[in-house]
Amino acid sequence: MTARITTRRQFLTLVSGALVAGGAAAQLEPNIQALRAAALEAAIRKITGGKPVRAGKVKLQVPPLVDNGNTVPLSVSVQSPMTAADHVAAIHVLTEKNPQPYVVSAYLGPRAGRASITTRARIADTGKVIAIAQLSDGSFWSDTVAVVVTLSACLEDGLI
């Protein structure tokens, strides 16, 4: 939804038939992009306390090309026996380009049986979605998916 603010002026060009690659049309102003990248990094650091995050164990499923950025189905599953001694304590989902980086933080434990959550997110702009799992041994694992978000062709412009 917030992508509309930056790209509405692109609308007439798009309708005239010019094909514009999703990424190029939705490019954020460089300063805003830098601020959001910094916010994402800060959010990850807050989650991990500065500990390293390794790619693996986590599977983030989100469509690579979304129908609409307002409602993007996503699910995260983590390989884990989910026992008292070895389980997933939390799953965090973040985005690279949203105005604030957090989507959801889910707190699990051995009673979950499986480390798996499904939800629907808002993804404002083409970029990465990141899932970070915190294990009971204090380690952090992640998976990242690059998602392309396009705008609806015809918008109401506030006129319902």
Partner 1 sequence: MARVVVNVPASAKRGEVIEIRTLAGHAMETGFRRTQTGELIPRDIITLLVCTYNGVEVFRAELHPAMAANPLISFTTVATESGTLEFKWTGDNGYAATQSASITVV
Partner 2 sequence: MSPETRAMQDDEATGPAVFWLLDGEALWKRKEGPAGAACASCHGAGSMKGVAVRYPKIASGRVVNLEQQINVCRTERQKAPPWAYESRELLAVTAYVARESRGMPIRIEWNEATAPFLKAGREAFNRRQGQLNLSCAQCHDDNWGKRLAGSVIPQAHPTGYPIYRLEWEALGSLERRLRNCMVGVRAEPTTYGAQELVELELFLMWRARGMRLETPAVRP
Distance CA 105, CA 33 (A): 23
Q: What does 15 interact with, of partner 1, partner 2, none (CB < 5 to 8 A by kind)?
A: partner 2
The residue among 105 and 152 lying less far from partner 1, judged by its C-beta, is 105
**What residues does 61 pair with on adjacent strands?**
75
- DSSP structural state of residue 16: T
Q: What does 106 interact with, of partner 2, partner 1, none (CB < 5 to 8 A by kind)?
A: partner 1
Neighbours of 119 (CB within 10 A): 13
CA–CA distances in Å: residue 12 to residues 75, 98, 153: 35, 24, 10
Among 111, 137, 154, 160, interactor with partner 1 by CB under 8 A:
111
Among 19, 24, 55, 85, interactor with partner 2 by CB under 8 A:
19
Contact set with partner 1 (CB under 8 A): 1-2, 5, 70-72, 75, 95, 98-100, 102-109, 111-114, 116-123, 158
